[in-house]
Amino acid sequence: MSTIPFAVLRWRAAVGLLLALLAAPLVAAEYQGKVVAITDGDTLTLLVPDGSSQRQIKVRLGEIDAPESRQPYGTRAKQQLSDLVFSRPARVVVQDTDRYGRTVGRVYVGGFDVNAEMVRRGGAWVYRQYAKDPSLYRLEAEAKAAKRGLWALPASQNIPPWEWRKTESGRRASAGPPPVAGRAVPGSFSCGPKKYCREMASCEEARFYLTRCGLTTIDGNRDGEPCETLCAKARR
């Protein structure tokens, strides 16, 4: 009876392990946390556990594109997303990371798909360049036929964001304002019993409580900036 060389056995074992790894189901990365801020109709901030503390993650809803803030229906789209997710626990199935460092993914709240719901309500377009889910196109067609949300706009105002961003006004608006000085969160703050803006010693502390401690009640208009009066003074 011939003996199989050890090198051959080792090669077979390596091949077997590789095949097993390739056959194993891929598990998508996920985040679970609380939505603490809404940037616009397709971007939110999620507060997630990070060891003994918490950290915030900027999430871009994948496969859809909502009107930019300065576009017609931009403010309404932001409010639609806020109504669906703000201050609620959410699960994000990660799809990618975009060039701005944002996590791109499908967002789920209370058992429903937020990305799909935004399209169904007419709060966003299907993002043709990146969409892989064919059901989104069906939802968009239904919203368009029913003239829901942005589909009720006149044709002259119903411009997909990726086209609007190519215009001069779109490029200026998408660039956004310059960073605000003094936005860094000092490391000396810690989550405590404070609940109201009048208890905050500074705007920086208020931002810490909002983004790190999840105290969303101090962000009354859900724009990601807490204690409007206090922080307005800090900007002067």
60 is annotated as an active-site residue: yes
68 is annotated as an active-site residue: yes
Whole-angstrom Cα distance, residue 176 to residue 170? 10
Q: Which of 60, 120, 207, 212 is catalytic?
A: 60
Beta pairing, strands 53-61 & 103-109 = parallel
Q: Which of 63, 102, 120, 140 is catalytic?
A: 102
Cβ atoms < 10 Å from Cβ of 124: 32
Residue appearing with tokens 């009640």: 217
The CB-based long-range contact list for 196-202 (8 Å cut-off, 24+ gap) reads: 197/226, 197/227, 197/229, 197/230, 200/226, 200/227, 200/230, 202/230, 202/234
Whole-angstrom Cα distance, residue 72 to residue 53? 39
Q: Which residue in 156, 75, 163, 81 sits closest to 121, CA to CA?
A: 81
Q: Which of 68, 117, 140, 205 is catalytic?
A: 68
Q: Which residues pair with 44 in a beta bridge?
A: 38, 59
Q: Which residues are catalytic?
A: 60, 68, 102
